[in-house]
Structure 1
Amino acid sequence: MREGPRGRIHKDAPDAQVKNYITPGGLDRLKDERHFLLTKDRPAVVEVVAWAAGNGDRSENADYQYGKRRLRQIDGRIRFLTKRIECAEVVDPAAPRTGQRATRAFFGATIRYANESGTERVVRIVGTDEVDLERDHISWVSPLGRALLKASAGDEVVLRAPRGSETLCVLQVWYEPIAVEPFHEPTASHVGP
């Protein structure tokens, strides 16, 4: 991948790594999930696979087959999390800002806006690994996130979404800590096969 005009990433340059903008809480959540997979979930599945392998014919051994499939899923998730952590670019929304960086919407901003019908909404711009629509955490690469980036109070922006275009009025932009839902270990019934 390579960076082209206007900072867009092109897939024809294989060595470039896309930055994973993320809040400190989001990075902690990724690390916690990877730690859980490496220290608890994977060892539990390995133990079951080893036990099932000792039971004879593996081709018709459901515990063995399921365990191996689950192990591949866990390993794939660990690889994914490791890559996301390695390319993480941590941006703290609570860090002091001056000038336009304090009044314009960038990564980590909290924005209050109104749509064409006057309905107000507050959203927070976060990384792709932190999206939580129930908490109004939107990705900086989502259509709404892109529309709001670099806007300040009083600006009108156009949201281009699959359902059509809509003009939004930015009412307020500010920065504060963004609480990201922490990683929760699954209940015992969901660990391992």
Structure 2
Amino acid sequence: MMLVALEFLGLVAFAASGALAAVRARLDVFGVIVLGLTTALGGGIIRDVLLGVHPPTTLRTWPYLTAGAVAAILVFAFHPQVARLRRPMLVADAIGLGLFATSGTGVALALDVPVYTACLIGMTTGIGGGAIRDLLVGEIPLVLRREIYALAALLGAVLVGVGHLADLPATPVLAVASGVVVAVRLIALWRQWHAPVARET
């Protein structure tokens, strides 16, 4: 039950970040809802398409769609207040990243794909929605910039893969791996860690 609640927290945070990006881009209310849902559900949809799960799970489960749409509408209505909640939003976003990256890896492993493939699919589950969000508003995706974001997701996915190879219980492994992703992401924000970039010539 706790993991489900945290997953919905992450979903709402992703939807809110997409909706805020839409508001800043001056999209109408429909565009805000679409971008919010795309950000919240995009990674899971990409995962299911890659794994051959049709229709995607999040499109068959109404609470996911409802939670994402309601979050986007609330952001549209109260975006000045939501924009001021930067730190709580970053924490919730980190939780969503950790849960989606690790659960995406677990779903892939449950379908008997190779471990390295499951890790890549898990990382994509965590970062996919945000990448689509940035592209739709005309920005370079966050995961391709200096932020320690995709690397944190990949680390969590790899930990799940290692736990699977070691035949460890799945639930504790998912919980620990999710916690590692959240910790790495938040410490990177706190310490202002960045991935290296090429020097200008």
TM-score (norm 2): 0.22
Structure with higher helix content: 2
Q: Which has the larger radius of gyration?
A: 1
Give 1 or 2: higher strand fraction. Answer: 1
